[in-house]
């Protein structure tokens, strides 16, 4: 009992240190502009006016961000999951080359990627649309997801799959009913990151969805507070706070699903 109390205390302390910059942001978002640069530990010069502004202006962007984030997760998993299975368990010709290309793909500077997309999108009419942005955002996550999920699927015991095949299951069914459930942890992890990257993307949004009106993500909503010579940090920080609440809730839920011992349990059954 005593020991677990200490554990919780340590965990909370570690979390607090890690989240101190986040606290600082909340602190600033509740401070009047006159005092934001005083560096005070608590919002002594208290105001909620930044939140009033943000709630009035930013909610549509928040919706778009959620949509883009979930869409990106979907595209990422649809491309990555079957490929990971093949790379981990089937005899893919040119597997090493493909692995190699995945690493290279992640090194292409996002700036270059966005210019390429702009050029293609302006021709096929995907500029300033949500599907266009989802596709672009998924390129941040797909190579990562393939590499991560492949690494996990490699660890699935071969006997399990052979058992399924002896039962007459096709590769597709083995994939769907044996491999997919067993890779739940890694799939959720990959989905988490796909969501987070899409959520925090600014570069693609500012190039490909600049004229999207309210169909722009929240990272573009922050633009509203960046003037030519004047930035309003109060509303910007408040936007960040408001934007992180639904996403944080989603993350906490997702974390709960990363359950322990999925592999072990399955082997035993």
Partner 1 sequence: MTTTTRVRRGLGLSIALATGLGLAACAGGSTPEPGASGNASEGSTTAEITFWDPYPQHTEGTPWDEHVKSCAPDGSTIVRTSAPQTDLLNQLTTAVKEGTAPDVVVLDNPMMPEAAAAQLLATAEQAGIATAGIDKNLMGPGVVDGVEYGVPFGSNALGLYYNADQLEKAGVDPAAITDWASLDAAIEKTVAAGGKGITFSGIAGEEGVFQFLPWFWGSGADLSDIGTPEAVSAGQLLSGWIGNDWAPRSAATDNQSAAWDLFLTGDYAFAENGSWFASAAADTDFKTGVIPIPAKDGGVAPVPTGGEFAVAPIQTTDASDHYANAAAVIACLTEGEAALTTNETLGYLHAKPEVRAEQVAANPLWEPWVAPIEGAEGRTTELGSEYVNVSASLSEALQGALNAAGDASGVETAFQDASGY
Partner 2 sequence: MSLLTTPELAAPQGTRTAPPVDGRRSRRKTTWTAVAFVAPLVIYLVLFYAYPLVQNVVMSLHRFDRFSFVNGGAPFVGFDIYAEVVAQSRFWVVVRQTVIFTTASIVLQYAIGLALAAFFHRSRFRLSATLRGLYLIPWLLPVIVSGTTWQWMMSPDTGVLNAFLGIFGADPVWWLNADNALLSVTIANIWLGVPFNLVILYSGLQNIPADLYEAAALDGAGPWQSFWRITVPLLRPVTLIALLLGLVYTLKVVDIIWIMTSGTGSSQTLATWSYGMAFGKGTSAVIRYSEASAVGTILLLAALVFGFVYIAVQRKQED
Using CB under 8 A as the binding rule, whether residue 33 contacts partner 1 is answered as: yes
Judge whether 32 and 235 are in contact, CB under 8 Å.
Answer: no
Q: Which is nearer to partner 1, 19 or 226 (CB)?
A: 226
Report what 35 binds from partner 1, partner 2, none; CB cut-off 5-8 Å by kind: partner 1
- Binding segment (CB under 8 A) for partner 1, from list 158-166, 178-186, 202-210, 246-254: 202-210
User: Nearest distance from residue 127's CB to partner 1, in Å?
Assistant: 7
- Binding segment (CB under 8 A) for partner 1, from list 11-19, 31-39, 80-88, 160-168: 31-39
Judge whether 242 and 55 are in contact, CB under 8 Å.
Answer: yes
Contact characters 92-111, partner 1, x per CB under 8 A = -xx-xx--xx----------
Give whole-number Cα distances, 233 to 57, 67, 96, 126, 187, in Å. 15, 26, 48, 33, 37
Among 230, 253, 260, 264, binds partner 1 (CB under 8 A): 230
Alpha-carbon torsion angle 208, 218, 134, 136, nearest 10 = 40
DSSP state of 226: B
Find tokens 């993500």 and name the residue: 217
Among 7, 15, 122, 154, binds partner 1 (CB under 8 A): 122
Using CB under 8 A as the binding rule, whether residue 57 contacts partner 1 is answered as: yes
Q: Which is nearer to partner 2, 52 or 157 (CB)?
A: 157
Rg (CA), the chain: 23
Q: What's the rounded Cα separation, in Å, for the pair 236 and 229?
A: 15
Give the burial class of 162: count Cβ atoms within 10 A of its Cβ; 0-12 exposed, 13-18 middle, 19 or more buried. exposed
Report what 57 binds from partner 1, partner 2, none; CB cut-off 5-8 Å by kind: partner 1
Using CB under 8 A as the binding rule, whether residue 168 contacts partner 1 is answered as: no
**Nearest one of 58, 82, 66, 60 to 195, comparing CA atoms:** 66
Q: What's the rounded Cα separation, in Å, for the pair 94 and 102?
A: 12
- Binding segment (CB under 8 A) for partner 1, from list 15-23, 77-85, 89-97, 135-143: 89-97
Using CB under 8 A as the binding rule, whether residue 231 contacts partner 1 is answered as: yes
Sites of contact with partner 1 (CB under 8 A): 33-38, 57, 93-94, 96-97, 100-101, 115, 118-119, 122, 127, 206-207, 210-211, 223-233
């Amino acid at each position: 009992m005593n020991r677990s109390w200490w554990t919780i205390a340590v965990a909370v302390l570690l979390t607090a240190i890690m989240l101190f910059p986040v606290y600082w942001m909340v602190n600033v978002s509740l401070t009047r502009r006159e005092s934001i640069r005083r560096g005070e530990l608590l919002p002594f010069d208290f105001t909620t006016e930044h939140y009033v502004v943000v709630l009035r202006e930013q909610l549509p962007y928040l919706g778009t961000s959620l949509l883009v984030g979930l869409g990106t997760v979907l595209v990422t998993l649809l491309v990555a999951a079957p490929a990971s299975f093949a790379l981990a368990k089937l005899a893919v010709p040119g597997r090493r080359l493909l692995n190699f290309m995945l690493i290279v793909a992640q090194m292409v500077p996002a700036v270059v990627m966005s210019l390429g997309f702009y050029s293609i999108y302006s021709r096929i009419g995907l500029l300033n649309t949500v599907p266009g942005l989802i596709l672009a955002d998924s390129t941040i996550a797909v190579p990562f997801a393939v590499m991560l999920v492949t690494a996990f699927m490699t660890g699935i015991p071969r006997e399990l799959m052979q058992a399924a095949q002896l039962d007459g299951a096709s590769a597709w069914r083995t994939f769907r009913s044996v491999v997919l459930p067993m890779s739940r942890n890694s799939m959720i992890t990959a989905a988490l990151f796909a969501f987070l990257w899409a959520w925090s993307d600014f570069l693609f949004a500012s190039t490909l969805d600049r004229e999207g009106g309210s169909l722009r993500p929240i990272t573009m909503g922050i633009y509203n507070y960046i003037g030519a010579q004047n930035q309003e940090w109060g509303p910007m920080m408040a936007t960040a706070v408001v934007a992180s609440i639904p996403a944080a809730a989603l993350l906490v839920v997702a974390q709960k699903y990363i359950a322990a011992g999925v592999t072990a349990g399955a082997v035993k059954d």
